[in-house]
Amino acid sequence: MKKVVIVGAGFGGLRAARALSGKGLDVLLIDRNNYHLFHPLLYQVATASLEQESIAYPIRALTRCWKGVSFRLAEVCGVDFEQHRLVLADGSVDYDYLVVSAGTVANYFGMESIERNAFDLKRLNHAVELRNHILGSFEKASKEPDPELRKALLTFVIVGGGPTGVEFAGALQELIYHVLDKDFPELVATQKRIILIEATDRLLAPFPADLRNYTAKQLREMGVEILFNAKVSSAEPERVLLADGTVIPSHTLFWCAGVSAVPLAAHISTNRAANGRIRVGPDLTIPGHPEVYVIGDLAYLEQDGGPLPMTAPVAMQEGEYAGNAIVHKTRGETDDPFRFRDKGSMATIGRSSAVAFVYGRKFAGHFAWLVWLGLHLLYLVGFRNRLLVLLNWSYYYFLYERQVRLITREGEGGECR
């Protein structure tokens, strides 16, 4: 029986595993975590909209339903192509076919000060840490006598005008002005600032111009400050510095301005493209190694004159293609080159407000927001998770309340000496 090893239980890895289940193959799914994480909603954990458990699902609960698929919790350190062996932190695994879907990490472009002082949202614990920090900043501000320091504690800088930056800015604004202002009446008179910084002259670059303009207009009406053509040069714990010399007193810097390949990519001997992503052929395999597939954000493949975007729909379609291609290879069959079918893009801005560009048609406002809600519920793994998310969203929508305002790190209240 041929053995297939899949690295990474993200959108692509899960689709590949499901495509391979029940096909007479021995499939092993490996991940550093024992759960699948729904990354598009991480920012809602950080802004106290959702519990962390509602966007994560145990991998073993999935694999036990897929015939021939098993799971191993491990850190992957490298690949030995000649021996067809995967090197793990706690051993090794041989394979006949390999699917690598390990994802990306935040890219700080070599700016160590930003890496030290910024938050990002790539893992579940990152979202919890950011939520702790935001709520902790309000607690500190509530007892801070210095008005300038109090203002800095309540200034939140977001770098990156893509979907993550836009969605986080809108969600943070709603948390502050609909919930935290009621929790901290002593801070109502203190100015709170949410500053969204974008290095170019536009938000949501892949979207049509009118949807981009609508997004900027909505955020500004909500109270979010937008700085276009601005770049962050460095950061310190209590301030953010821009390339033009501007200094923004702030204790919170959220970075979503770029990603790069996971460190595993550096241990895979093959050609790499921008940000360390691995160049793959039209069939998603590494040149010279037809048994090795690279999919998802880690894979670099151009289509129609440009690289495929690093989005969940691309990863899911690539995962399904890779799984089916392996099945066909074991039968001596061949496949056509991979072709991404772009169904569109969308982003939520805030309450009853979103933008969507689907099949060439543009939507904005309440209808786009409803479509965004429905698709995210559809793609969540697990009925319980869908139900929890729907209940949380409904509770907040009708009552303007968020229940997950928990600071889960110790020491926020100080220590007795």
What whole-number distance in Å separates Cα of residue 282 and Cα of residue 13? 18
Place of tokens 């009621």: 182
Torsion of CA 334, 335, 336, 340, to 10 degrees: -160
In order of 12, 203, 262, the CA distances from 164 in angstroms are: 20, 11, 19
- Let me know if 278 is exposed, middle or buried by CB neighbors in 10 A (0-12, 13-18, 19+): buried
Catalytic residue among 167, 198, 318, 320: 167
Determine whether 167 is an active site residue: yes
233: part of which helix (H) or strand (E)?
A: strand 232-236
What whole-number distance in Å separates Cα of residue 65 and Cα of residue 71? 12
Residue partners of 211: CB distance under 8 A and separation at least 6: 204, 355, 357, 362, 364
Report angle CA 83, 85, 86 to the nearest 5 degrees: 155
What whole-number distance in Å separates Cα of residue 282 and Cα of residue 285? 8
CA Rg value for the chain: 22
Report angle CA 218, 224, 229 to the nearest 5 degrees: 95
| Cα atoms in the 13 Å half-sphere on the side-chain side of 116 | 10
Could you tell me where the beta strands, DSSP code E, fall in 273-333? 278-279, 285-286, 289-294, 299-300, 302-303, 306-307
Cross-strand bridge partners of residue 348: 354
Query: By C-alpha distance, which of 181, 168, 197, 214 is closest to 353?
Result: 214
Catalytic residue list = 167
